[in-house]
Every structure is written in C-alpha cells, then in structure tokens.
Amino acid sequence: MDERLATAMKDGSFGAGWRPGAAAAGGPARQGRRSFFRRGAAAAAAAVAAYAGREAFGAGTNPNYLPSLYRGQNALEFQAIRTHENAHVTFLVNALGTYARPKPTFVNLVQPNLLAFAQTSKALENTGVGAYLGAAPVIYSRDYLAAAGSIMTIEARHAGYLDVLLNEIMTTNVYGDEQSFEMALSIEQVVDLAGPFIADLNGGPPLTFSTTPSPSNDVAILNFALALEYLEAEFYNVNVPRFA
C-alpha cells in the first residue's frame, strides 16, 4: 500500500484508487453523528467571542476595517486561503476514495462584518493546526503522515497571518496563548471548537478516531480532517466573495 501511495503522491493521483479495510470509528469521545452538533447561533457567537483576540490595530469602532501592509493585500491573502482550503478538500476526498465522508451541513457561517470574518478565520485556522498536530502521533501510514504534515504547515501559515492581522503575536494559539511550541488539540477540543458550525454530518462517520495506530484508523483520521476542511472551505466560499 505504501509503495502505491508514494507513486500516487508523485504523479498527483494520491489516494484516487485506494481501497483500505473497513474504517474504525472507535476510540475516545465516541459520539453519535448528531448528538453534539445541535447548537444554536448563540453558542456559535459565544465561541467566536472566546476565540477572538485583541481588537485589530486601528479598527476602532469600524468593524469593516483591518490594517493592510500593502494595498489590496488582505483580499489577496483571503482569496489564497480560500483556494488552499478547497484544494485540501479535494486532496482528502481523492485520498479516501469511496470511504470519503459526505459534506456536512453547516450553520452560522455568514459573518456580519470584516472584523468578525477575520476573527472566525483565525479561530478556524488555529483549530486546524492543533487538530492535525493532535492526530499526527497516531497516523499509521508514513505517507499519510507526510501528507497531513504538508496540510498542517499551510494551515499554520494561515493562522500566523491572521494572528498578526488581528494584533496578536504570530504564534498565538486558538485559546489566545502565545507559544514557542504548538499545542496539540484533543478530539474533544476540536469537536467543541468546530461543533457550533456543524448542524448535521449527513450520514458520515462520527468525529472521532482511535488512539491506536492502524491502517483502518487512518481512514477515520482522514475523515476527521476532511470534516474540518469541508468546514473551512465552505466558510471561505461563503464569506470571501463578501469581504475580499
């Protein structure tokens, strides 16, 4: 399997024909497919407020202002982030093949102003970084680990840009703590952070995976990551045309 994956990664078709064994969705924090996603707009608003760092420099009372190093640079950056997140979705769907989860139904994605958009972007990107780092130690396939690492580093670049844009130190994590070493997030933490935006998994596997590495558990990990990438991609697809 690893030789075929390595070849596929070189020619750009990574995962297109992969047929692993049945996915294992067991492990910690086992939950039903919908049980912890029935949260309303108030919960989402509270979560965003908790993620938001200090007010962006110069924003004052104008929620549609953000500083920019160069004219039009913020729009270019957000458009690039949107492109990256959609590419991550395509990559993971191709890697999982017929085992890829369906796209969940999302809520609370539309942001009221530019500042809220940037704050929520910062929260999502920092969540993604911590989620990939938390899953990395239990990824069985070295090829999958390398692929996850290549996505995580792009997410980290997004997060650093957004931290600075919002007047935070560039290594500030999702909880607002400046750090020299990235904090890995547990399954429960990721679900708590992303949950307010997910209304229904639409028959997809629960957002969990085992802490015991195995080929089948890699499917659960990739589907866990795919749910987050679907969320990020849809968030930017909705909001980038409005603000960038």
Mean pLDDT, consecutive 10-residue stretches, the chain (244 aa), reads 42 39 37 40 45 44 88 96 99 97 98 97 98 98 97 98 97 96 98 98 98 97 98 99 93
Reported as type and span, the H/E element at residue 80 is helix 73-96
Helices (H), 97-214: 114-135, 142-165, 187-194
Contact 44, 227 (CB under 8 A): no
Q: Where are the alpha helices (DSSP H) in 166-214?
A: 187-194
Q: Which residues contact 179 (CB under 8 A, 6 or more apart)?
A: 171, 172, 173
| 128 CB neighbour count, 10 Å cutoff | 29
Query: Using one digit for the tens of pLDDT, what is the confidence trace for 144-184?
Result: 999 999 999 999 999 999 999 999 999 999 999 999 999 99
Q: Is the pTM of this model over 0.85?
A: no
Task: Identify the structural domains of the chain with CATH numbers, from first to last.
Answer: 42-243 (1.20.1250)
Q: What is residue 40's predicted lDDT score, i.e. its pLDDT? A: 40
